[in-house]
Structure 1
């Protein structure tokens, strides 16, 4: 047996799979019907107990081509029903074995619909999964849980290069998904990926045509050093800059805007977003728990994309600057290529600037 206990005292009883150890984290839910392997390996889920709302998980197994990072980054995966006999020509092993090999705890057999409704009604909360009924000490540990500087835990340790082409892009890794790099490289770009806290002058002196700000975990306002570094890049250059997810939020903070935590966040591959300029709605993949406050935007900021579910900001462009950003993941291909045009716009912006 295994038990999920929420900080409001609610207990869900199920079965463990994968690794068998206790896990503490922020309990969130993802509404995607597929993509559990990408979810497991997305660094933006660092420190979280992720609930999949689709009831059957593991039915197409796991392969070694789809991970978005070097290993799973979630604290635990929670599912209604685990499929132990996958059937897919690309499958190389079962989800349970993959999680056990990577020391990730899984919980199955609970009412994920009930759990999702509770999070939607009451908001994201902390939780702990234990193999036995939790002790008072464990509950106290869960209530004090906080992820400190999660970007530092998932960023690369040393710079590295990827791709070939005339366009040179500096990528600041805040916990990137590999498909961002693949998407840029497929557009003929040569990428140099830097750790999150890289000295901004190293980028300014690197002869780059543009800067990519990636996704990553946690509260964007926890990254004050990074925000100050971005201010230097923005103020001392005219380099085109494209931000995705956390990069979108950090760019806004560097420009003087403010952010706030959402009640339960946006996580899934089916979020409708309207491109205001194109007057068209696209289906997007998302994974974030914070949003930019519209009343805090500087005068130079123009809202380019809006979430059709709750009208939160999904994209910004800054007049007088060669900068734009989106809250969703254009590289995740839920459409499958609905918003790939954003990479085209970034490449065109760098070409024009060059």
Structure 2
């Protein structure tokens, strides 16, 4: 029987032990997320002063475009080279069946694969393109709808090349759906601003209120930036808010078929309260 430490070492994974996690949580809650360094020394001796200097010198995520680092490099059809829909015990991954499925082109800014599985589950055919794909690259695939994925980094930095493309895509009138970073990029594309949060949202138990009917969804979140609701233009309506801190968690446009959420409706891991968003998006492509 292999212990946890052995398993993590074999898979080259980092772990922390012997710290007061409650004290760390209280510090982050009061002072915001601090910079930190994870260091290893076979001898157990460390130059603490040098490590502190390294931590303090890190500039943070603001201004960092990390989407390019984790995006796919090539266009591919999801389900052609990978599994299609959701995985179920005893059945495995569902296939992408049917020839008349609406075609979604997903721009991959660092997407979780379960997003593509959920799009297939909702009835779509999915093609995936890199974060740096041009408007012409996307439209050459003849999409019925466009999806903007999640991803890491500062949305304003990624937006330098992504926002002009998204604006052109919005002008086509084709339905558009964004998640997490995709939500922030949609906000930037319509003229809103994003901001670095004092404390990011990390976890699979975040309550979000749907403003249309007051329904509360338990969601999975993992983001350190947020759309500033005060900067939303007249044609953008807030649709969801976080019940932890009241920050924006969703928006939709009133003059074009586009909407987005800050949280992760695809779960993996996390609650499955929000699959209806995939059904709403793919359903709009059939009209």
Q: TM-score, normalised by structure 2?
A: 0.85
Tell me if 1:142 matches 2:77: no
Q: Residues of 1 paired with 2:176 and 2:8: CA distance?
A: 36
Give the alignment's Cα RMSD to 1 decimal.
1.8
Q: What is the DSSP-based 3-state SS (H/G/I as helix, E as strand, rest coil) of the residue aligned with 1:331?
A: coil
Structure 2, gaps ≥5 residues long:
80-95
**Superposed CA offset, 1:74-116 (max 9, x none):** xxxxxxxxxxx7xxxxxxx765455334423211121111111
Q: Which residue of 1 aligns with 2:46?
A: 133
Paired residue secondary structure (2:51): helix
Change (3 A) 1:284 1:350: same
C-alpha distance in 2 between matches for 1:100 and 1:254: 43
**C-alpha distance in 1, partners of 2:54/2:31?**
21
Structure 1 runs of 4+ aligned residues shifted over 6 Å read none
Equivalent positions of 1:154-165 (< 5 A) are: 154-163=70-79, 164=96, 165=98
Alignment of 1:28-67 (within 5 A): none
Distance 1:211 1:94 in 2: 45
Structure 1 stretches lacking a partner, 5+ long: 1-84, 86-92
Give secondary structure in 2 for the equivalent of 1:126: coil
Shift of 1:264: 1.1
Change (3 A) 1:95 1:202: farther
Partner of 2:68: 152
Match in the other structure for 2:264: 329
Residue 144 (structure 1) shift? 2.1
2:33 counterpart residue number: 124
Alignment deviations for residues 157-212 of structure 1 (CA, whole Å, 9 cap, x no partner): 11111133421110111111111011111122111111100111111232111111
Mapped partners of 2:73, 2:271: distance in 1 = 32
SS in 2 for 1:234: helix
Distance 1:333 1:175, change over 3 A: closer
For residue 85 of structure 2, what is the aligned residue in structure 1?
none
- Gap change, CA 1:234 and 1:98, over 3 Å in 2: farther
Greater strand proportion = 1
TM-score (norm 1): 0.70
3-state SS of paired residue (1:137): helix
Distance change in 2, residues 1:117/1:185 (3 Å)? same
Q: Tell me the secondary structure at the aligned position of residue 233 of structure 1.
A: helix
Q: Which residue of 1 aligns with 2:255?
A: 320
Residues matched between the structures, number: 260
- 2:112 corresponds to 1:199: no
